[in-house]
Amino acid sequence: MKIGGFQPFSLSDFPDCVSAIVFTQGCNFRCPFCHNPSLVLPELFLPPIPEETIFTFLNERKNKLDGIVITGGEPTIQSDLIEFVKKIKELGYKVKLDTNGSNPEVVEKLIKHNLINYFALDIKAPWHKYAHLTGVETDIEAIKKTLMILLHSSIPCDFRLTYAKPLLNDEDIQEVQSYLPPNRSLTIQKFIQKNVLNPTLFI
């Protein structure tokens, strides 16, 4: 696992859990509003944190933490994600995974192996605006597949969208909300225009 950051304590990132956060290094998207460029642009990567450092910490905190959040970057592009999560689960922790939804097969595998307790899916935009809001040609069918997998799973999932004005407007938010059934809500995250990946789009 390429780990670009680690936060040892959080009360707000994993519902009902005291958690630590692992930030994976690397992402297949280039969302202009991304506020983690150092986890996305290879030229900004810091030397990765060794996995052993994380597991030493997790072994020592077994009775103090409930869960681990794996976020990024985009965790599902890491080839050894499943093995990494298995090792965390063996220590007795719950795991939350944040994803951009681009790798439904990985999400499916994680669910099949009963490795995830909580998901968060970041939906970036209405389908017709996806390439603009991700900064890359996006496989929309893959995102739709992940959305369906998570909607049909019994594992809790937050569906989130960052309201990156002026790239998105109120109609866009309504359209994305319409992708969810009436009993599921879209969490709108406030866009903070600070240290973003492509500031020129927000001038």
Binding site for ligand SF4 (CB under 6 A): 27, 29-31, 34, 36, 40, 72-74, 100
Smallest gap from residue 114 Cβ to ligand SF4 (A): 26
116 versus 133: smaller Cβ distance to ligand SF4: 133
Cβ proximity to ligand SF4: between 133 and 149 the closer is 133
With tokens 């965390």, the residue in question is 88
CB of 105 to ligand SF4, least distance (A): 18
How many whole angstroms separate alpha carbon 179 and alpha carbon 33? 22
Q: Which is nearer to ligand SF4, 40 or 81 (CB)?
A: 40
Q: Which is nearer to ligand SF4, 74 or 158 (CB)?
A: 74
Tell me how far, at minimum, the Cβ of 63 lies from ligand SF4, in Å: 32
Burial label, 200 (beta-carbon count in 10 A; 0-12, 13-18, 19+): exposed
Residue for token digits 């004005």?
A: 165
CB of 124 to ligand SF4, least distance (A): 7
**Minimum CB–partner distance for residue 125 and ligand SF4 (Å):** 11
User: Least distance in Å: CB of 182 to ligand SF4?
Assistant: 27
Determine the Cα–Cα distance for residues 46 and 106; give it in Å rounded to an integer: 26
Burial bucket for residue 63 (CB in 10 Å: 0-12, 13-18, 19+)? exposed
Cβ atoms of residues 115 and 86 within 8 Å = yes
Identify which of residues 29 and 159 has a Cβ nearer to ligand SF4 in the complex. Answer: 29
Give dist(CA 18, CA 39) in Å, integer. Answer: 24
Four-residue CA torsion sign, 74, 79, 84, 86: positive
Rounded to 5°, angle at Cα 111 from 189 and 49: 65
Q: With respect to ligand SF4, which residue has the nearer C-beta, 61 or 173?
A: 173
Taking the C-alpha atoms of residue 58 and residue 2, their distance in angstroms, rounded to an integer, is 17
